[in-house]
Each structure stands twice: as structure tokens, then as C-alpha cells.
A = this chain, B = another copy of it.
Amino acid sequence: MTPSQGSPRNPTPDRSSDERPRLREVAEAAGVSVITASRCLSNPDRVSEKTRTRVLKVAAELGYIPNRVASGLVSSRTMVIGVVVPTIANPIHSVLLEAFNAQIETQGYRTLLATTSYDAAKEADAVRTLLAYKVDALALAGKVQSADAVRLLSVARVPVVEMFELHDAPVDLNVGLSNFDAGAALARYLLTRGRRAIAYITHSGIDDSRMAARFAGFQETAGAQPDVRLMEFTDSAPPGRLRESAISAILSRFPDVDAIVCSGHQAAVSAIRILTDQGIDIPGRIAVSGFGDSPASCWVRPSLTTVAYPMAEIGAAAGKMLLARLGGEPLPKTQVDLGFEIIERTST
């Protein structure tokens, strides 16, 4: 019983009880070649309307879902962008990530995530894995820390954007602000208001150049005033948290302290709570301020004076810059400063 239509040279292999249709099944059902079916889905213009509608109809009926792994392999465009953040739980990063992701989703890209826990070795690892997935671009929160990661990124032929921190030697694109300047600005602000005995709380055990830059800027400005005493205190809690013991240490070792600056986000809000619970007058005896704004900063009483960062704008701008690069559009600037703003509230 030879089929009168001629036996196909490439008979469909047996896929009984297998999952989803592939493009080939769609093409066969629509009576076109695989490539025509492919074009109907990705280059609709290059196909006559008649075949296009027929193929699309068949594809819908069969519940066809394209295999992006296969198309990624052959076209070397995966439509995936890798994102590296220290942690998602920190609101500053989740806001950044949300804005970035929303931006790239508009063009059909998806975010492949990797976290570093503020660890430079894990950062290099994250970059390596994301590159292994052949991401079309890469976005990183903060200046790239590890030399390995820098090396990997510079030989990789993908656009890279470092978000949040502006610095001198970006791998490629760079959008954010100068944490050094932010630190300096906050120092000036406190000095102008007469504060002279300043405790500055940083966090230990993490690779975070933003924190270091903030302190450097603060130190430089504060150090220029001869009558200012600046003491750095290190807390081992993760950024965003603060141990009561850190505050106790300050009060005992620096009794005439008149200002506390917290480098970690949210840490300043904790500091306000701890100090007010001890009956210490803010800002009468001690002014408190920090970096990074959040709803909690204005809810807390006294409300927090802080250096606000435009994280959502940074994420969106980073997404747009990458999309422009991926679309082959020229970029007017590869480094964009979105600045910061000191929000004066009642804690200083």
C-alpha cells in the first residue's frame, strides 16, 4: 500500500505520547515547509497573508509553543538578559530589578537572575553562568567587583550595564550616581548644621564598593574640617539590619557623638528606633541620617533625613540603554548620571 502522494523523505519520527508539537508538525498540518512556518511566527512580513493566517491558525489549534532554546542556539539570540544583584530582598535592589525587568519585558526579553550575597567570588561565578546561558546582555547592580568577572565581561561580546554606581572604568555602559559624591554631600550637609562628632556605621564581611565609596566621600569632606571627629563603626549584621550592640558601642566609646550616619539602607531607620527607645533626643542630642529612601524613612518618627537614590529610574534607564544597544541604535552617552537628592526630614 504505497501512498499515492509519494513517501516523504523525512518521515515524522514516532512521538506518540510525547509532549508538545514542534514547528515541523505545525508546518505539516498547514501544508507548508518548516521554514515558512517559522517565518510566519517570527517574520510575518516575509510571508503571504494567506499562508500566514493559515499557519497561525494551525499553530494555535495545536497549542504550539516555540522552542526558544533551539532558536537561541541557532540564531544566537536568546532574548534573555542576565541580571546580577547582591540580594533581591533588599528593597533597593528589588525596586531596581522591577524597573529593569519591566523595561526589558516590553521588548520581549526575560530576566535570568543571579545573586552574589555581596561576595566577589560569587559574582564571577554568576557572570560565568549567565554567559553560559548565552544571555544577549548583562546588567549588574554596582561596579563589577572581581577581576575575574571583569575579564569575562570584556571578552564576552555582549552589552553590559553596571547600574547604581558610577565609576571611572566601566566595562561598558554605566548608569547611576556617584556614591562618593553622595557621601561627600551628606557630610557637607551635617557639617553645615554644626555636627562635629560623627559616628559612621558600615557593614563588615561584604564586598560592596558602593558602601566604600560613600564612606570615602564622607571621610574626605569631613576630614577637611579640622575640628571634626569622624569615627567608623563596623557592624557585622547584613546591610539593612543593625544590631543594638552597634549603637551601644557608639554611645559608650564615643559619648559626645552628635551625629550617626548609617551606610546600609534601612539601617538608619533601625537606629532611630533604637535611640528613641532609649530616650535619646533626635535630633536634639544626636542627628541620624543614612543612604537610600524608602516608605519607612518617612513613616518613622522622627522621620529620616537621607540621601535618596532614584533606583526605579536607574533600572529603567539601564534597560533602555541595553535595548538600544541590542537594537543597534547609537547611544548618545554610555555613562549616565541620574544623581541623588538629600531629603531633609526631622531626624537632623
Contact = CB atoms under 8 A, between A and B. Distances in A.
Nearest to A91: B91
Contacts of A89: 91, 94-95, 98
Interface stretch (A49-57, A109-117, A202-210): A109-117
A66 to B, nearest CB: 5
A70 B73 CA distance: 6
Interface string A62-92: 0101111110110000101000000111010
B20 A155 contact: yes
A67 B132 contact: yes
B66 A69 contact: no
A14 interface: no
Contacts of A112: 80, 110-113
Contact of A296 (B87, B132, B295): B295
A305 to B, nearest CB: 16
B67 A69 contact: no
A80 B72 CA distance: 15
Interface-central residue, A19, A152, A266, A270, by most chain B CB under 10 Å: A19
Interface in A108-155: 110-115, 128-134, 152, 155
A87 B91 contact: no
A88 B94 contact: yes
Contacts of A295: 266, 269-270, 296
A24 interface: no
Nearest to A93: B94
Nearest to A83: B113
B88 A133 contact: no
A211 interface: no
A46 interface: no
Given A69-B69, A73-B69, A87 B80 contact: no
A132 B129 CA distance: 20
A325 interface: no
Nearest to A66: B132
Interface string A262-286: 0000100110010000000000000
A102 B70 CA distance: 28
A105 interface: yes
A132 B23 CA distance: 12
Interface-central residue, A88, A94, A156, A269, by most chain B CB under 10 Å: A88
A14 to B, nearest CB: 17
Nearest to A87: B98
Interface string A300-325: 11000000000000000000000000
30 contacts: A19-B156, A20-B156, A63-B152, A65-B128, A65-B131, A66-B132, A67-B132, A68-B133, A68-B134, A69-B73, A69-B78, A69-B133, A80-B112, A80-B133, A88-B97, A88-B98, A88-B101, A89-B95, A89-B98, A102-B115, A105-B114, A110-B112, A110-B129, A110-B130, A111-B113, A112-B112, A269-B295, A296-B296, A299-B300, A300-B300
